[in-house]
Amino acid sequence: MGVDCKTVWSNCLTVIREQVSPKIFKTWFAPIEAVQFQQNILTIQVQNMYVYECLEEHYVKILREAIRKVIGPGAQLEYLVMVEEENATRISSSPASPVPPGTVAITAPLKDPFERNNQRLVIDSQLHPSYTMESFIEGPCNRLAKSAGNEIAKNPGKTTFNPLLIYGHSGLGKTHLAQAIGLSVKQNFPEKVVLYVTTNLFQAQFTEAVRRNEINDFMRFYKLIDVLILDDIHELADKTGTQNTFFHIYNHLQQLGKQLIFTSDRSPAELSGIEERLLSRFRRGLPAEIKSPDFDTRMSIVRAKVRKDGVDFPEEVLRYICEYVDTNVREIEGAIITLLAQQTFNRKELTAENVKEILAKMVAKHLPELTVEHICRVVCDYFHVSPTLIQEKSRKREVVIVRQVAMYFAKDYTNASLTYIGNQLGRKDHTTVLYAYKVITDLIETDRTFRARMDELRGKITMGTWANHLER
């Protein structure tokens, strides 16, 4: 009497369980069912094409070892992929190929699981009505990005700017422009489904879909979007599961000529923790940088803002705002709101002198954003160590401690991911950064002399940036 398929697969699962974490086992392997075992060919049923693709891409080696160990070196595997409840597709290895196969042959046509009989969903676009093209002030710093946005609004998905990746530092108007494109598309093409979503929300939705075993519904929803705007795409870093799902959604939308718009705080070349297959697609369209606004653009922004709020600031006050606050649009708008409140509540006219006093207090509370590179320079200068040694994989004790200190402050003072920090400071991984942070934290708590030096260094890092800001 031959061994039944469920026993064979149960033995395979025992082998697989030893190779993966409990979470991975529960998510990807536990739901699989064995349906047939004949002539050393085991047929397993998976929930959908997405699961099949993930198994083939990420767990092919584990499957190969398990099947060979249980069945023998001549083992083969077939997948029965459930597309709809009443339809399945059998995917098998070629007879000469080991299991799992390097290539597969689909022996039955797939019904599109995302077909909805031409019915359209009514979806809230999540676009802010004030983020219009008209209210987005154009200048040399953002002209390329806005021009591309205007072209996309006229013909979404049909231009060479697909995807459009708008990148630049925080507070420069990336979200405003991305949403403005979406609003323009809605105005020009009311029938199109436009959706704005932050990457954090996308990640949370994905996690919940996995927990509820509703990945199909999650993907089906996003694959119905005509213009997808994903904000802060850099936050996909190191989230492998979410990247896998997004990769399939991306491919589906682009193949159907749908428009993709992303924002990021760094260029594609600087994105770390993102799979190369996604990066190559980001580079396929148009990466458009938004830079800090020049003086004339800042003046245009200030004039538009005060005109919208119905206030009248003296010209010298407007000029002083633009000379003093030169970091980003968000701080300029914050300065105007602060001055407007002062003028309204104190009931006295603003002058350059009292504006200077007010802005000095406001900017002092919001120092310019620190960078990993700046922190590395200050720390290396303090310890008299060349930054080149820190960026190399040196294991000398005097270099290691300086690198750990730089990692500690970079984690505390920047918004950079742990992967980015580690890559910039010795090409280390994120676990090394976490370990360094713990080491320095323990030393600060237990060594009074070391703590005093860290306090001194902390002052140099922050005050150095503040001094540079005032000089500008």
Question: For 106-118, how does the pLDDT look when each residue is reduced to its tens digit (9 = 90+)?
Answer: 233 323 333 333 3
3-state secondary structure the chain: CCCCHHHHHHHHHHHHHCCCCHHHHHHHHCCCEEEEEECCEEEEEECCHHHHHHHHHHCHHHHHHHHHHHHCCCCEEEEEEEEECCEEEEEECCCCCCCCCCCCEECCCCCCCCCCCCCCCCCCCCCCCCCCCCCCCCCCCCHHHHHHHHHHHHCCCCCCCCCEEEECCCCCCHHHHHHHHHHHHHHHCCCCCEEEEEHHHHHHHHHHHHHCCCHHHHHHHHCCCCEEEEECHHHHCCCHHHHHHHHHHHHHHHHCCCEEEEEECCCHHHCCCCCHHHHHHHHHCEEEECCCCCHHHHHHHHHHHHHHHCCCCCHHHHHHHHHHCCCCHHHHHHHHHHHHHHHHHHCCCCCHHHHHHHHHHHHHHCCCCCCHHHHHHHHHHHHCCCHHHHHCCCCCHHHHHHHHHHHHHHHHHCCCCHHHHHHHCCCCCHHHHHHHHHHHHHHHHHCHHHHHHHHHHHHHHHHHHHHHHHHC
Residue in this structure with the two tokens 């922050």, named with its chain if needed: 462
Q: Report which of residues 36 and 104 the model is more confident about.
A: 36
Average pLDDT, the chain: 80
Residues in the chain: 472
Residue 115 phi, psi (nearest 5)? -70, 130
Whose CA is closest to 12, among 49, 54, 55, 53? 55
Domains of the chain in sequence order: 5-106 (3.30.300.180), 143-289 (3.40.50.300), 295-365 (1.10.8.60), 372-471 (1.10.1750.10)
Sheet holding 87-92, edge to edge: 33-38, 41-46, 76-84, 87-92, 105-106
Mean pLDDT of the 227-251 span = 89
> How distant, in Å, are the alpha carbons of 36, 225, 417 from that of 430?
43, 34, 8
For residue 463, what pLDDT is reported?
57
β-sheet bridge partners, residue 46: 81
pLDDT of residue 14: 93
Q: How far apart are CA 246 and CA 260, in angstroms?
A: 12
Q: How confident is the model at residue 263 (pLDDT cuts 50, 70, 90)?
A: very high
Task: Compute and round to an integer the Cα radius of gyration of the chain.
Answer: 28
Sequence-ordered list of residues with C-beta below 8 angstroms from that of 251, at least 6 positions apart, any chain: none
pLDDT-derived band at 352 (thresholds 50, 70, 90) equals: low
Tell me how far apart the 2 most distant CA atoms of the chain are, in Å.
Answer: 97
Max mean pLDDT range (8-17, 72-81, 284-293): 8-17
Q: How far apart are CA 270 and CA 234, in angstroms?
A: 10
Q: How far is CA 382 from CA 80, 364, 426, 450, 471, in A?
A: 63, 24, 18, 13, 22
- Interval 12-28 mean pLDDT: 88
- What integer pLDDT is reported at residue 217 of this predicted model? 84
Q: How far is the CA of 263 from the CAs of 129, 146, 190, 260, 405, in angstroms?
A: 19, 13, 24, 10, 31
Question: Binning pLDDT at 50, 70 and 90, where does residue 388 land?
Answer: confident
CA dihedral 207, 211, 214, 215 (to 10 degrees): 40
Q: Which range has the worst mean pLDDT, 94-98, 146-150, 288-292?
A: 94-98
Over range 135-160, report the average pLDDT: 92
The pLDDT of residue 30 is above 60: yes
What's residue 417's pLDDT? 86
Query: How is residue 244 written in tokens?
Result: 């896998």
Question: Who contacts 69 (Cβ-Cβ below 8 Å, separation ≥6)?
Answer: 12, 15
- Per-residue pLDDT of 169-205, as tens digits, reads 888 889 999 999 999 999 999 889 999 999 988 988 8
Each residue's pLDDT tens digit, 292-301: 888 888 888 8
Residue bearing the bigger pLDDT, 378 or 369 = 378
Block residue for tokens 């993102």: 274
The candidate with the shortest Cα–Cα distance to 53, out of 267, 244, 191, 225, is: 244
Predicted TM-score (pTM) of the model is: 0.52
Amino acid identity at 9: W
Question: What percent of the chain is modeled with pLDDT above 70?
Answer: 82
- Residue 132's pLDDT band (cuts 50, 70, 90): very high
Q: Higher confidence at residue 231 or residue 96? A: 231
Q: Give the pairing type, strands 41-46 and 76-84.
A: parallel
CA 187/CA 44 separation, integer angstroms: 49
Q: Which residues have C-beta within 8 Å of that of residue 422, sequence separation ≥ 6?
A: 407, 428, 429, 430, 432, 433
**pLDDT reported for residue 404:** 93
Q: Which tens digits make up the pLDDT trace of 439-472?
A: 999 999 898 889 889 988 887 786 544 344 433 4
Asked if residue 150 has pLDDT above 90, the reply is yes
